[in-house]
A and B are shown apart, each in its own frame.
Chain A
C-alpha cells in the first residue's frame, strides 16, 4: 500500500471552527463530582481551560470517520484465563489490615455510609 493510499487526510473531515471553551466551569464541577474530587472555583476554571485544550487537540480524532473500523481495547486478543479450582493460601489478613487507615475486629472501618449527606 502506498503512503498516499493510506493518508489519514482521506478520513478526516474539516476541524470544528470554534475549538475553545469546550468545557464550562459547571461541566468541570459535574465531572469532579463523578470523580470524587473537590476543587475551588478558580481550580475548576483552570481545569476547564486545560481540559478544553486537550480536547481541542483531540479534534483530529473527533473528526475521523472510523465507523467502518472495529475497536481495539487491548493490543493483543485476550482469552479468558482460568486455573484449577484449588485452595491456595491468600495474602495474610493481618498483613493486609496493617496497611489500612482504620480497622476494627478484623475488618476495614469506615465512617457511616448512610445518614449525613455529603
Chain B
C-alpha cells in the first residue's frame, strides 16, 4: 500500500494507523535480520504515535497529509531522547537533546516514526558497508549492496518495511541507493529542506531528501518536510509551488536535455551534432545507458522534446567533490573530541584524550576522509586543490545556467551500474567513489535531482534514471518522474 493510500484509508476510518503499523512491524521482524535496514526499531514509540493518530481521527480532529504513514529515518537525523548513532562507534548510545526539524514536521503531518536506518558511517560511502554495526543488504538480492550512504532507508522502502523513508544526500546518498534498490529518491534544492538536526558531513552539499516506492509518495513527503526554518541559516525563505497537485500534468512541450558527459555510448550522442571532443565520465555501464535512452524515448512519446546537451565540467565533478566534501568533513568532524558527547577514551592529558577518542571512535573510511580533507586544507596545498575546486563549482553553475536556457530538465543515469556484490569495491576507495560520478554535479550546484526506477539491467536488477533541474524545480522534476514511472516496465520494482 502506498503512503498516500494509507493516509487516505486512515483519515476515512477504513483502516487504523495501529493496524497499518503492526503490518509493517511484522514485515520488519520477519525479514530485517536478513536485510539489516534498521539500527533501531521504535515499536513502542511508534504504537503510541499511531494510537494518537487514531484517537484524533475518531475525535474528528484534522489530521495531516501523512496520517498514520510509517516512516523510517536515516540514523543521522536527531531524535530527542532516542539513540542517533550515524552508524559510528563515536556516537553509540548518544541521545540527542532535540529533534531535527524534519522529524517534527513529519510528526505534525501525522507520520509515525518506525525506526532509525543504517548508513555508511557519518554518511560517508556508497554501499552501506562502512557502518560500524554491519552492512545492509539489497532486498532484490541479498548478496548485493543496497548502495549508500542511505542504504538502510532505501532497503527499508524496497522491502516494504516502511512506505516512506528519509535519507541525506551529500554526493548522491539518496539517489544512488534509491536506484540500486528500485525506489524513488529525491535530492531537493539546497536550502529547500531544513537541515537543523541533521548530523553535519559537508555543509555546503548536505541535503535531506525523501525515498518512496512511488513518485507521488515522494512528492507528498517532500511537501511535508520542506519550507523555511529559522533554525537553519541556509534555509530558503519564501513561498513554494505545490508539487503533488501538479503531478498528473504530463510533459507535453517539456524540453529535456540528455547530458552528453554522463551518457557515453548513448545512440543519441552519435546522432547529435557538435559533440566532437566531448569527454564523458568513465564507467557507466551499457545496460544503464540503454535504460536512459529508453527513458528519453518514453518522455518523447509523452510529448517532451529531447535534445543532447553538453555540461563539460560534469567530468570534473568527482575530483572536485572528493576534495570539497572531505575538506568540509574534516572541519565538521573536529567536534568529536571526547569532551561534550560521544565516545571518550581517557588519557593523561586532554590532547592525548582527543587523539585516543577519535582514533577509537572513527572507522577507516571516516578517518580516510578526515585525512584527505585535512591535507587539502593544509598549508601549501590549499591553493593547488581546494581553492580550485571552488572555482570548478562556479564553472559548473555557469554551464548549468547555459544548459537551462535551452532545456527545462536534464536527463542521465543515477548510478553507473546496478547493485554490486558486497565486498566488491571495499578494497579500493577510489573505485567506490566512482559510484557518485553522475550524482555529484547536482550537489555541487545545489540543484534538485530525482532518481526514478526505469526497468532493469542485464542482470535483472533495478536501474534508476536521473532527472536534474534548476533551483526549486522540484514540481517539474517530479512531474516528469511521474511520466517515467507510468512508462516503466512493470517488473523492475518488486523484490
Contacts and interface: CB of A to CB of B under 8 A. Distances in A.
Contacts of A23: 375
Contacts of A9: 277, 279
Contacts of A61: 316, 319-320, 323, 385, 388-389, 392
Contacts of B371: 28, 31-32, 35, 37, 47, 51
Contact of A36 (B94, B346, B358, B388): B358
Given A66-B391, A71-B390, A37 B370 contact: yes
Interface string A76-113: 10100101000000011001101111100000101111
B238 interface: no
Interface string A46-70: 0100110111011111101010011
Contact of B446 (A1, A76, A98, A112): A76
Contacts, number: 205
A51 B372 contact: yes
Nearest to A8: B312
Nearest to B98: A91
A55 B397 CA distance: 23
A95 B97 contact: yes
Interface residues of A, number: 63
B286 interface: no
A60 B402 contact: no
Nearest to B381: A55
A66 B319 contact: no
A58 B236 CA distance: 32
Contacts of A62: 384-385, 388
Contacts of B393: 71-73, 75
B340 A108 contact: yes
Contact of B278 (A7, A32, A73, A113): A7
B322 A6 contact: no
Contact of B341 (A34, A57, A75, A100): A100
Contact of A38 (B95, B339, B346, B355): B355
Interface residues of B, number: 84
A34 B316 contact: no
B350 A111 contact: yes
A54 B372 contact: yes
Nearest to A33: B355
Contacts of B270: none
B339 A108 contact: yes
A7 B312 CA distance: 5
A117 B347 CA distance: 11
Contacts of A83: 230
A3 B312 contact: yes
B131 interface: no
Given A3-B260, A37-B355, A100 B339 contact: yes
B341 A6 contact: no
A36 B338 CA distance: 12
B395 interface: yes
Interface string A1-41: 11110111100000000000001000110011011111100
A76 B233 contact: no
Nearest to B336: A36
B76 interface: no
Contact of B344 (A37, A95, A102): A102
B204 A73 contact: yes
Contacts of B433: 54
Please give me the 6 A-B residue pairs with the lowest Cβ-Cβ distance, nearest first.
A75-B446, A3-B310, A71-B390, A101-B344, A66-B391, A72-B393
Given A6-B310, A81-B233, 6 more contacts: A36-B337, A61-B320, A61-B392, A66-B392, A69-B391, A110-B353
29 contacts: A2-B274, A3-B260, A8-B316, A35-B374, A37-B358, A37-B359, A39-B359, A57-B319, A58-B320, A60-B315, A61-B388, A62-B384, A62-B388, A66-B391, A71-B390, A71-B391, A75-B393, A75-B444, A75-B471, A81-B230, A99-B340, A99-B341, A101-B338, A111-B350, A112-B348, A113-B351, A116-B348, A116-B349, A118-B355
